[in-house]
Structures are given as structure tokens and as C-alpha cells.
């Protein structure tokens, strides 16, 4: 078993990994850049090292991070998500220096991180992909010819894209011509690669993804699916496990497809296979070769600790479970609480958390790195907390979500919490049948009041008086 792990990340996921290490008796090493000196992951890890003044550079300096792992006697690095987690060069440097990279092999990361390569591998494995490019596009004229044969609308996508960026829907040739240079420039800036490709745009699809786990012995299993159809600008806001809108047949089919995909590329460790579902059609979209933000909800319904399994598998141990050992119970929802102002076009709202009160009670889990007095720096993602609720049935899970969101207090910055309360009241959402157009189709859900209702304040005052009287 691994003995000491360097965590090449920050924020809630770094804290999540520290927690797994602590439970497994493994020493944890944090890295931080100066703006993060007072961050929670720094306080919680057994050791922490500064990577310099620049807010971001230190988290992205592959050679320096691997050197530090060697110098501090670590035997492994956990990359978390984002940053270097899908950087095959980083995995390769780890391998060269005798440090275990907690994830798949470098060549598998490279193959799946390139979306056109991944499509080729899936076609070869017999996994259905969305109709589209066989290769990266050479120029706009090739794009136009291909789009005409696929039929509009099409999706123009950055080959190395991620985090919902570098994707544009084009409804006509004119739009394609307009968007082409924009996507290339966005892809170059964000991902350092100008490669783009085309896919048929699946109209109003459901985003269904399957969590998989694979070991170095060649075994691979799935932990069922997550429904991430509640998105804004291709970014997930609320995730649900299992999907309330799959038939049992679709569920087992998509699970088997994901395992087939993983085995076909010699996958090791935890990963996610993402699909688009429309009617009875299921298409492979991409594979994320890392732990995902929403792994939490799968943990809640299956009871499997995914980060622990990642560490065990990276240690060379076989999977702790066979497919028939995996079952799920109830429903879990994750709310990505972002420090953003939904009423102001989701503008990031960084600053000092003047008060944080974590919701609790049955079926509630929070994964966060904020605390009262912490200042959210402006250099990173705006997601500041993941609120996860679980209950035995769908309606109870929704009600528990509303209750937990109401319990929670995050003051000093604007958050998406109140907006999620509106989504939870919506009948279409509550019906369990929705697709990726839900958020854009419901702009009226942004018309809520940020102030606490007078009745709520009156109740709070009454409760305070009653409590005082009882003493």
C-alpha cells in the first residue's frame, strides 16, 4: 500500500483526498501558492509546501511538483480534477521518476484527452459515438462540407476541450463560418491547442455518465450512472444519481457500454464515460480520465469510497468489488454551490466569507474548503462548496435538498444556493424528466428574491423569543 501521497491540487478536492489518506493511515502532502497560504487543504494535510507567489503557476509546474514528491519521500501523486489531472506529460514524468501517478497510464490519458482520438478508439471498440468528424478539421471549407453531410445543427468542439469550454452549437453555415475562428481562438487560449472537430448536435439530450473503476489486473466495473442534464453553458450545476429518467434496460446497457469502453483502452483507476441520450439512442461523448467533481453522489448511493479505491488500485491491489457486489439505494443530488450571482449573469462573486454554517442532519454531506473568515481568491474556479443530499426515494431527496439548502448559511459572497431552491420547486424538474435545455428554457427561475421572506424573518424572531422564554 502507498505510504505518502502528494496532492497536486487545492480546494475541496484536495481536502477530500486528505480525508481518504487519513482514513487509510497514509501521510498526505499539500502544495500551495502564496494566495492559498491560509487555505483549508494546507491546514489539513500532514505537510504543506509553498510553490511560490504566482497564484496558478505552482499548481501547474509538473517537473517541480514531481521533484517535490521525490524530495519529501512521497511514493505517489494524486492529481484531483482540473490542473494537471489530465496532463499525460505529468503522468509520464511521474513514471520516469518512480512516483505512482494515481490515475491511468500516460498513453491512455493522451488518447482519451484528445476527443477525436477517443472517438476513433470507441468506434473501433464498437461503442456508438455521435455522428461527426473522423479527424480534426483541416479548415473551414472541410467543416462546411462535413456539416452539410451531417445536417444542422452541429456542434463545433475543441479537441482538447474541457470544463464546458470550447463548444459551440451552429444552426447554419453562416453560424459555422462565424464560430469557427472563435472556437479555434478559445481553444488555443484555454487548452493550448487549435484543433477542432464537428459532431452532430443532439437536440435536447440528457447527459448521462457512468462511473467506472478498473485495476491493474484488467478488471473493470461500473458504479452505475449520474444524470448531469442540469447545466448552464455546458457546465454542470446539479447532478443526480441514479438518473431518474432511465429505464432499467437503458441503465444496464449504458453501464455495459462504459465497461466495454474502459476495457478497450486498457483503462486503470477511476474514470467517467460520458454519454448523450435521446429517446432510445445512446452516444459516447467523451471520457474523463480522473476523479470527477460529482463522484460524491455515486459514493452516497453505492457506499463505495471512490478515492479510497483509486489509492488501492494505484497501489497495485485488485478492485475491492466485483460487479455483482455493486448495488445502489435511493437517490443522491449534488448542488454545486458557486460563488456567483445568478441574477447578474452568474458573475463570479469572490471575497470574504463572513459567516459559514454547514447544513447537517440525516442524509446531508458537504465537501468544501471554505470556513468563516476565509477569503475566496479570484484566481480559481468559482465553485466553493458541494452540497450532497441522499434519501430513499426521489421526492424525499428533493425535499431534503430544499431543507439542506435552507439550513446552510454562506454569507459575504453571492451564491447559486437560492437559484437551486427555485429549480427544486419547478414541476418539470420534480417530475424527473428534463434535458440539457432545462436551464436555458427556464429563465423565469432567476426571478426570485435574495432577501429572506418577511414571514421567515418573523418566524425566526418568534423562535428566538420562545427559546429565550424557555430558559
Which residues of the shown chain bind ligand ADP in the complex (CB under 6 A)? 81-82, 86, 130, 155, 160-164, 167, 191, 199, 201-202, 205, 207, 231, 234-236, 274, 276, 285-286, 288, 292-294, 381, 436
Query: Is the link from the previous residue into 30 a cis peptide, with omega within 30 of 0?
Result: no
- Please say whether the beta carbons of 196 and 291 come within 8 A: no
Of 251, 207, 256, give the one whose Cα is nearest residue 227: 207
- Grid coordinates given for 109: 490519458
**What is the nearest approach in angstroms of ligand ADP to the Cβ of residue 103?**
13
What, of Mg ion, ligand ADP, none, does residue 199 touch, CB below 5 to 8 Å by kind?
A: ligand ADP
312 is catalytic: no
Instruction: Report the alpha-carbon distance of residue 10 to residue 37 in Å, rounded.
Output: 11
Q: Using the 8-state DSSP alphabet, how is residue 205 labeled?
A: -
Of 413, 295, 407, give the one whose Cα is nearest residue 350: 413
- In sequence order, what are the residues at sequence separation of 6 or more whose Cβ sits closer than 8 angstroms to the Cβ of residue 27? 3, 4, 5, 21, 46, 47
- Please say whether the beta carbons of 357 and 408 come within 8 A: yes
Using the minimum distance from each CB to ligand ADP, give the nearer residue, 292 or 415.
292
**What is the nearest approach in angstroms of ligand ADP to the Cβ of residue 4?**
25
**What is the Rg, in whole angstroms, of the alpha carbon atoms belonging to the chain?**
22
C-alpha dist (Å) from residue 185 to 132, 137, 170, 188, 252: 21, 14, 16, 5, 40
Of 236, 156, 232, 166, give the one whose Cα is nearest residue 437: 232
Using the minimum distance from each CB to Mg ion, give the nearer residue, 239 or 274.
274
Using the minimum distance from each CB to Mg ion, give the nearer residue, 16 or 207.
207
Contact range with Mg ion by CB under 5 A, out of 34-42, 266-274, 418-426, 442-450 = 266-274
Residue nearest to ligand ADP (CB): 162
**What is the nearest approach in angstroms of Mg ion to the Cβ of residue 267?**
16
SS3 292: coil
What, of Mg ion, ligand ADP, none, does residue 164 touch, CB below 5 to 8 Å by kind?
A: ligand ADP
Using the minimum distance from each CB to ligand ADP, give the nearer residue, 86 or 215.
86
**Binding to Mg ion (CB under 5 A): which residues in 109-148?**
none
Instruction: Report the alpha-carbon distance of residue 153 to residue 125 in Å, rounded.
Output: 27
**What is the nearest approach in angstroms of ligand ADP to the Cβ of residue 331?**
18
SS3 325: helix
Per-residue binding string, Mg ion, 177-216, x by CB under 5 A, is ----------------------------------------
**Binding to Mg ion (CB under 5 A): which residues in 307-366?**
none
What, of ligand ADP, Mg ion, none, does residue 79 touch, CB below 5 to 8 Å by kind?
A: none
**What is the nearest approach in angstroms of ligand ADP to the Cβ of residue 157?**
6
**What is the nearest approach in angstroms of Mg ion to the Cβ of residue 293?**
11
What, of Mg ion, ligand ADP, none, does residue 374 touch, CB below 5 to 8 Å by kind?
A: none
**What is the nearest approach in angstroms of ligand ADP to the Cβ of residue 174?**
20
**Binding to Mg ion (CB under 5 A): which residues in 370-399?**
none
User: Which is the catalytic residue, given 290, 312, 336, 365?
Assistant: 290
Compute the half-sphere exposure of residue 208: CA atoms within 13 Å on the CB side of its CA: 31
- Please say whether the beta carbons of 202 and 278 come within 8 A: yes
Of 219, 215, 237, 216, give the one whose Cα is nearest residue 228: 237
Instruction: Report the alpha-carbon distance of residue 127 to residue 145 in Å, rounded.
Output: 25
What, of ligand ADP, Mg ion, none, does residue 275 touch, CB below 5 to 8 Å by kind?
A: none
Instruction: Report the alpha-carbon distance of residue 231 to residue 55 in Å, rounded.
Output: 28
Query: How far from chain centre, in Å, is Cα 144?
Result: 33
**What is the nearest approach in angstroms of Mg ion to the Cβ of residue 424?**
24
What, of Mg ion, ligand ADP, none, does residue 66 touch, CB below 5 to 8 Å by kind?
A: none
Size of the site for Mg ion (CB under 5 A): 1
Contact range with Mg ion by CB under 5 A, out of 195-203, 270-278, 350-358, 383-391 = 270-278
- Please say whether the beta carbons of 104 and 289 come within 8 A: yes
Contact range with Mg ion by CB under 5 A, out of 174-182, 217-225, 274-282, 357-365 = 274-282
What, of Mg ion, ligand ADP, none, does residue 349 touch, CB below 5 to 8 Å by kind?
A: none
Instruction: Report the alpha-carbon distance of residue 102 to residue 453 in Å, rounded.
Output: 48
Using the minimum distance from each CB to ligand ADP, give the nearer residue, 144 or 317.
144
Residue nearest to Mg ion (CB): 274
Query: Among all residues, which ones are annotated catalytic?
Result: 290
Residues lying near Mg ion in the complex (CB under 5 A) are found at 274
Amino acid at each position: 500500500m502507498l505510504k505518502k501521497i502528494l496532492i497536486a491540487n487545492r480546494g475541496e478536492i484536495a481536502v477530500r483526498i486528505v480525508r481518504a489518506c487519513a482514513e487509510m493511515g497514509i501521510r498526505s502532502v499539500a502544495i500551495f501558492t502564496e494566495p492559498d497560504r491560509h487555505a483549508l487543504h494546507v491546514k489539513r494535510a500532514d505537510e504543506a509546501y509553498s510553490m511560490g507567489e504566482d497564484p496558478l503557476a505552482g499548481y501547474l509546474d509538473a517537473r517541480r511538483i514531481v521533484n517535490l514528491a521525490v524530495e519529501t519521500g512521497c511514493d505517489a501523486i494524486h492529481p484531483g480534477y482540473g490542473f494537471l489531472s489530465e496532463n499525460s506529460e505529468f503522468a509520464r514524468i511521474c513514471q520516469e521518476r518512480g512516483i505512482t501517478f494515481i490515475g491511468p497510464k500516460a498513453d491512455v490519458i493522451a488518447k482519451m484527452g484528445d476527443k477525436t482520438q477517443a472517438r476513433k478508439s470507441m468506434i473501433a471498440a464498437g461503442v456508438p459515438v455521435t455522428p461527426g468528424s473522423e479527424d480534426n478539421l483541416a479548415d473551414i471549407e472541410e467543416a462546411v462540407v462535413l456539416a452539410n453531410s451531417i445536417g444542422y445543427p452541429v456542434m463545433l468542439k475543441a479537441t482538447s476541450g474541457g470544463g464546458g469550454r470550447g463548444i459551440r452549437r451552429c444552426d447554419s453555415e453562416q453560424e459555422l463560418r462565424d464560430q469557427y475562428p472563435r472556437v479555434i481562438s478559445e481553444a488555443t487560449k484555454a487548452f493550448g491547442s487549435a484543433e477542432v472537430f464537428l459532431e452532430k448536435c443532439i437536440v435536447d439530450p440528457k447527459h448521462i455518465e457512468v462511473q467506472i473503476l478498473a485495476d491493474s489486473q484488467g478488471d473493470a466495473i461500473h458504479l452505475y450512472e449520474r444524470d448531469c442534464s442540469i447545466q448552464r453553458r455546458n457546465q454542470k450545476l446539479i447532478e443526480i444519481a441514479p438518473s431518474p429518467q432511465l429505464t432499467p434496460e437503458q441503465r444496464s446497457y449504458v453501464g455495459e457500454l462504459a465497461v466495454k469502453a474502459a476495457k478497450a483502452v486498457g483503462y486503470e483507476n477511476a474514470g467517467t464515460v460520458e454519454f448523450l441520450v435521446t429517446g432510445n439512442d445512446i452516444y459516447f461523448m467523451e471520457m474523463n480520465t480522473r476523479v470527477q467533481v460529482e463522484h460524491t453522489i455515486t459514493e452516497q448511493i453505492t457506499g463505495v469510497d471512490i478515492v479510497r479505491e483509486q489509492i488501492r488500485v494505484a497501489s497495485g491491489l485488485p478492485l475491492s468489488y466485483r460487479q455483482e457486489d455493486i448495488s445502489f439505494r435511493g437517490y443522491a443530488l449534488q448542488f454545486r454551490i458557486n460563488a456567483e450571482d445568478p441574477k447578474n449573469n452568474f458573475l463570479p462573486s469572490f471575497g470574504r466569507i463572513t459567516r459559514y454554517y454547514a447544513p447537517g442532519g440525516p442524509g446531508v454531506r458537504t465537501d468544501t474548503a471554505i470556513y468563516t473568515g476565509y477569503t475566496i481568491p479570484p484566481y480559481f474556479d468559482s465553485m466553493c462548496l458541494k452540497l450532497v443530499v441522499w434519501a430513499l426515494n426521489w421526492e424525499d431527496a428533493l425535499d431534503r435538498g430544499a431543507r439542506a439548502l435552507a439550513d446552510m448559511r454562506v454569507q459575504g459572497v453571492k451564491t447559486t444556493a437560492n437559484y437551486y431552491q427555485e429549480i427544486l420547486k419547478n414541476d418539470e424538474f420534480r417530475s424527473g424528466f428534463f434535458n440539457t435545455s432545462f436551464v436555458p428554457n427556464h429563465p423565469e427561475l432567476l426571478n426570485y428574491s435574495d432577501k429572506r421572506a418577511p414571514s421567515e424573518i418573523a418566524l425566526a424572531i418568534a423562535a428566538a423569543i420562545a427559546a429565550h422564554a424557555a430558559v
